[in-house]
Amino acid sequence: MPTMGLHYAPNLITTRWQRLKASLFPILQVGVAAGFANLIAVHLFSHHQPFFAPMAAVIVLGLTGGDRLRRAVELNIGVSLGVGVGDLFVGHFGTGWWQMPLLVMASLAVAVFLDKGPLMATQAALGSVLIATIMPPGTVGGSGRMLDAFVGGLIGVIVIAVMPTSPLKGGRMEISKVLALTASTLAEVAAAIPEQDAERIQKALKKARGSQANINSMIAAAKEGEESVAVSPLLWRHKRRIKSLVRILNPVDNAMRNTRVLSRRALTLVEDHDTVSKEQLWIISSLADVAGQLAELYTKSGDLDEHVAIPELVRRLRELGARAGLEVAEGGVLTAQVILAQSRSIIVDLLQVCGMSRYSAVAVLQPTSAHPAMPPEVCD
């Protein structure tokens, strides 16, 4: 046990150091925004206790997941509303145990009346609590506090524009994580079916079921990058690339969801002591390999690697689509046919990740209907 602890400590330190390195620039952003907000409130508006200016700047920079401009406006309105209601309420009724719940409820009621979002309501309540406890009326004028909140929020938005983070790096890394999980799940399923190893599939399925947090992080990172490009003129050259990144979010999400369904059906297959054809196993294993290569590709930042790798991956997926016909599951149980259907869906998803439209991706599949909605363009 002591030996395990010695091995664990360096790994823990390395992980935390990497996390700190990744956060250094955002930390710098927040520090600069708070400093400038405080500077402007003190020297331009002569507010000697500009508490709300740096606080609003810090909160705006701490927002993630896109829509930061809209939420910054909500935050400023919420803080200003809470300060205004707090000043008015405390000025007339004072502070105490019975005033506090009435003040919070009044702030929340006004905020909910004005906007349905939770951010404005939360900030209104917090602003009123601060007025009733830390900064009661008489220390700074109510209008001054509202102005400080506005200044802080505005400085936060300006810092996003003039000190932007990389709009692509975060989104690409999160996409890579989801694709890597897709790849590892498919690889485990392909290896477990011939061995009739239900436990192995269960473990892979458990990891796949926990993928929603990764998917949410992927969407948030991409949307944040999209907003940074929209706000900052310094990033306008990335508009085309960020648009392409946002476009593949749904296909990546769908690939992971279809992989979860395939894994569940594979578990049922093995528990029933059934199997699938060697061709089906080859298709699943090949999909795992393609997803893994895409995951590796998205850890890199250059277009050159994609221009070389994507055409080859598309060629492989077109081959898989041409061979994923009903005959590969012919004579198999219903579960095997469901697994084939999910494999076909994943082929379409990964082709869309590679840049194809859904129409073109579906046309790659060997038709299973005499009257397919999308004419086939399968490889011979």
Name which of 103-107, 138-142, 218-222, 345-349 the model is least confident about.
138-142
- Please check whether residue 163 is in contact with residue 157, taking contact to mean a CB–CB distance below 8 angstroms: no
Q: How does pLDDT run across 53-87, given as a tens digit for each residue?
A: 888 888 877 766 556 667 777 877 887 788 788 88
Q: Provide the pLDDT confidence category of residue 256 given band limits of 50, 70 and 90.
A: very high
Enter the pTM of the model: 0.75
User: If DSSP codes are grouped into helix, strand and coil, which group holds residue 196?
Assistant: coil
Sign of dihedral through CA atoms 186, 187, 193, 197?
Answer: negative
- Please check whether residue 246 is in contact with residue 253, taking contact to mean a CB–CB distance below 8 angstroms: no
Backbone torsions φ then ψ of 376, nearest 5 degrees: -70, 150
Crossing angle of helices 68-93 and 142-162, in 10° steps, is 170
pLDDT value, residue 65? 54
Q: Which two tokens stand for residue 310?
A: 């994507």
Q: How does pLDDT run across 168-187, given as a tens digit for each residue?
A: 788 888 899 999 999 999 99
Which residues are CB-neighbours of 179 under 8 A, at least 6 positions away? Answer: 252, 255, 291, 292, 294, 295, 298, 353
- Please check whether residue 364 is in contact with residue 347, taking contact to mean a CB–CB distance below 8 angstroms: yes
Q: Provide the pLDDT confidence category of residue 8 given band limits of 50, 70 and 90.
A: low
Burial of 364 (C-beta count, 10 Å sphere; 0-12/13-18/19+)? buried
- Ordered domains of the chain (ranges, CATH): 2-162 (no CATH), 169-224+236-363 (1.20.58.220)
Q: How far is CA 358 from CA 78, 219, 264, 367, in A?
A: 42, 20, 25, 15
pLDDT value, residue 207? 92
Is the model's pLDDT at 95 over the cut of 90?
Answer: no
User: If DSSP codes are grouped into helix, strand and coil, which group holds residue 93?
Assistant: helix
Name which of 56-65, 217-226, 287-296, 344-353 the model is least confident about.
56-65
332's enclosing H/E stretch is none
Closest CA to 145 of 97, 86, 92, 59: 86
Nearest-angstrom CA–CA distance, 61 and 29: 7
Which residues are CB-neighbours of 34 under 8 A, at least 6 positions away? Answer: 54, 57, 58, 152
pLDDT value, residue 1? 45
Q: 214 or 252, which is more confident? A: 252
User: If DSSP codes are grouped into helix, strand and coil, which group holds residue 299?
Assistant: coil
Q: How does pLDDT run across 190-223, given as a tens digit for each residue?
A: 999 999 999 999 999 999 998 888 888 888 888 8
> Helix %, strand %, coil % for the chain, to 5?
80, 0, 20
